[in-house]
Amino acid sequence: MPELPEVETVRRTLELAIIGETIDHVVAIYPKLITTPLDDFLTQIKNQTILKLDRMGKYLIFLTNDYALIIHLRMEGKFFIKTDEPILKHEHVIFKFKSGKELRYHDVRKFGTITLLSKDSYLESYPLNKLALEPKDLKPDVLFNKLKSKSIEIKAALLDQHIISGLGNIYVDETLFRSHIHPTRPASSLTFEDVETILKSAIYVLEKATSLGGTTIRSYTSSLGVHGRFQNELMVHMKQGEPCPICQTPIIKMKVKGRGTYVCPNCQD
């Protein structure tokens, strides 16, 4: 699924293609993806010009004259730029611009969400008002205090966007491997030094992945002609049975809170 580096890559790519475009109207083929009352959404979005593309955690933010369009890609959401082409099976919401260009939201699983909020208050409104800071903005003592009362596994805690934002399954695996911490360790058992290490590892992994355009794997491929290269840098994720790059012990796969998790049983304790 798209995590922070993939969403940032989409943001940067779309920024080159749609800044300055004015929305003529929106075609909602599968309206359940739109969380704002549909009639309000379709009326309010008309004649809005896209002025800026932003991102918070895994959320894309399209800023227009009067509104903030908040988009969560979830598992397999993608965007395509097209012009008067046949609508494909999984293209569910189409933004038609006055220029004739179209921005199409494609989502096989239909898990994504599209929300229109006032530009004046979107940061204080759900879902962004519940979102934690990203690793680069989060102080170790703040994260430590959040984790010390959590009995859940550290992997589950790092996946919780109310605790720390931007990390998903791939980058939590890579962060914990680099931190030499087992994903099933109770979050409350971590020392302050462990938390500092986790933050440093998360920042490194996310920045490296972003610089390489994210990760393109079976469960997530980008659109708009953008394909990430961080899959070539993965140390444990998707590496079941392969030797650990540090100690050569075979990487194992296990389940943590229902998520496929890759671990070196020797390096991570």
Q: Is residue 11 annotated as part of the catalytic site, yes or no?
A: no
Whether the CB-CB separation of 140 and 196 falls below 8 Å is answered with: yes
Q: Give the integer Cα–Cα distance in Å for 184 and 17.
A: 43
Q: Is residue 135 annotated as part of the catalytic site, yes or no?
A: no
Predicted local confidence at residue 219, as pLDDT: 44
Q: Which of 5, 21, 58, 134 is catalytic?
A: 58
Q: Which of 12, 74, 253, 259 is catalytic?
A: 259
pLDDT by residue (tens digit) across 162-203?
999 999 999 999 999 999 999 999 999 999 999 999 999 999
Whether the CB-CB separation of 159 and 199 falls below 8 Å is answered with: no
Q: Is residue 8 annotated as part of the catalytic site, yes or no?
A: no
The sheet with strand 59-63 has its strands ordered as 52-56, 59-63, 67-72, 113-118
Q: Is residue 32 annotated as part of the catalytic site, yes or no?
A: no
Assigned token pair, 245 = 């790059």
User: Chain-centre distance of CA 181, in angstroms?
Assistant: 23
Judged against a pLDDT cut of 80, whether residue 30 lies above it is answered with yes
- The 10 Å Cβ neighbour count of residue 29 is 13
pLDDT by residue (tens digit) across 233-262?
799 999 999 999 999 999 999 999 899 999
Q: Which domains does the chain have, with CATH numbers?
A: 4-130 (3.20.190.10), 135-263 (1.10.8.50)
